[in-house]
Amino acid sequence: MSSESAVLSPLSTQGSELNTTLSDWLGYLEQLHPKTIDLSLERVAEARQRLDLAPGFPILTVAGTNGKGSTCAMLEAILLAAGYRVGLYTSPHLLRYNERVRIDGMEATDEALCQAFAAVEQARGDTALTYFEFGTLAAMWLFVQSGVDTAILEVGLGGRLDAVNAFDPVCAAITSVDLDHMDYLGDSREQIGFEKAGIFRTDRPAICGEPDMPQSVASHAAEIGANLLWIGRDFGYDSVESHQWRFWSGSGQRVVLPYPALRGSYQLGNAAVCLAVLEQVRARLPVAHDDIRRGLLTATVAGRFQVLPGRPQRIFDVAHNPHAAKALAANLRAMPPAGKIIAVFAMLRDKDISGVVRAMKDSVDLWLIAGIDQARGASADEVLGVLAREGLAERAEAFASVADAYRHACDKAAEDDKILVFGSFHTVAEAMTSAKAGG
């Protein structure tokens, strides 16, 4: 047995699956592999074979720098409205690991996840899976056991070597291509596009929702013989009047569609990708126009321009790269102007902090900065240094934690002000926890 897998599992230390908590399992998964991210399909493919995971239901895989979570949520909501039993796997989570695995619109229970983890643990042998690989296999095991009609898989990182790519989709989609995770995916949009295009399959539809598509995406699709459908050329959308839009494609059009419940005009692009996917799989997963309407109006994603009720307005957004920050700034500009915008801001060190700050500098009146207590987290001093280089030091204050910064924002904000929490999943999660606790 390898040194990485010599660590005792929760089952071996506690003796029974029934006595093992989800927290035990998650702690175990974090130490099972020496690296948090180790892109490869070999390990997950080996474990999948040992698990005998051969799903017979259609799989829809979605990748993208931004927008993939929203697209997955809309796909799930529309398919649920059509009466299908849907499995949804996303990452990362905000407050609970259970958020990553949904079956029939409900988060997987602790007990179900523990059972799935136990099945993967028993089957993996001496293969040291990463946290994400282990979780991906567990989710798919649950989907098979639950007899879902279809599964929607959100790519965690890139696409070509991401764990979800061990499962063949009947349709794959890329929502957007921009610079992020450059240490793993390359330092150009062409390289990143190639990695994302790795989810495409021969003779199967490959949807691209990036208007400025890198040539690498088109080239890879042509090389493997995927049926590439590109927004603006093969499908697209028009805003026809207030709160209504039209989807068009080579197969026709859908009119009088409601704007998605997810906020932001850019969500029409994600919705168009969603409808393009559904159009390509309609022979196996037909949906009606009313199903699409209901799904668009009910899809939600926590932490994506999420506005809490009450005054002052509190807005939570996990925007953590320049592309997402520009969309966030556009959303703020579209809101009725009133008061100041007070930002609670913290980021991971390996992200483009300068790019995010530049995208948001004209939208924020006061920056409340904190560090993230995590190995990859940037310190408050590091973030303050970026703000100083952008000429924003006089508009910034530092705090010991995101929770402290959030509490200060709540104390300081006037009724007409807006409190904006953004910069990473960690930032939003900590502030949300503080908000739930009454902080």
Residue range 279-325, pLDDT digits in tens? 999 999 999 999 999 999 999 998 999 998 889 999 999 999 999 99
16 and 60 housed in the same domain: yes
Torsions phi, psi for 117 (to 5 deg): -60, -40
What's residue 419's pLDDT?
97
46 and 175 housed in the same domain: yes
Q: Which spans in 124-261 are helix H?
A: 131-146, 182-185, 189-196, 215-224
What's residue 438's pLDDT?
60
Of the residues 253, 277, 298, the one at which a domain ends: 298
Q: For the chain (length 439 residues), average pLDDT per consecutive 10? A: 43 50 93 76 93 96 95 98 98 94 97 96 92 96 98 93 96 91 79 95 98 96 98 93 89 91 89 98 97 96 90 94 93 90 95 95 97 92 96 95 96 96 96 76
170 and 253 housed in the same domain: yes
133 and 241 housed in the same domain: yes
What's residue 3's pLDDT?
36
Burial of 192 (0-12, 13-18, 19+ CB in 10 A): buried
140 and 14 housed in the same domain: yes
Task: Report the C-alpha gap between 71 and 275 in whole angstroms.
Answer: 9
Specify the CATH number for the domain of residue 141. Answer: 3.40.1190.10
At residue 328, the 3 state secondary structure works out as: helix
Specify the CATH number for the domain of residue 323. Answer: 3.90.190.20
291 and 324 housed in the same domain: no
Task: Report the C-alpha gap between 43 and 53 in whole angstroms.
Answer: 14
285 and 331 housed in the same domain: no
What's residue 16's pLDDT?
44
For the chain, how many structural domains are there in total?
2
What range defines the domain where residue 423 resides? 306-436
Of the residues 246, 268, 298, the one at which a domain ends: 298
133 and 218 housed in the same domain: yes
Under 8 Å between Cβ of 78 and 272 = no
Tokens of 140: 């798919």
What's residue 265's pLDDT?
81
383 and 405 housed in the same domain: yes
What's residue 11's pLDDT?
55
Under 8 Å between Cβ of 100 and 89 = yes
Pairing mode of beta strands 227-230, 205-208 = parallel
The residue assigned the tokens 């006595």 is 19
The residue assigned the tokens 């047995």 is 1
The CA angle 228-267-85, to the nearest 5 degrees, is 75
Strand ranges for 73-155 from DSSP E: 86-89, 101-103, 106-107, 150-154
Of the residues 245, 275, 298, the one at which a domain ends: 298
91 and 163 housed in the same domain: yes
Tokens of 325: 């920050």
Tokens of 136: 């991906």
Tokens of 67: 């927008």
367 and 294 housed in the same domain: no
64 and 129 housed in the same domain: yes
Question: In whole angstroms, how large is the CA radius of gyration of the chain?
Answer: 22
Q: Element (H or E) spanning 408, and its range?
A: helix 402-412
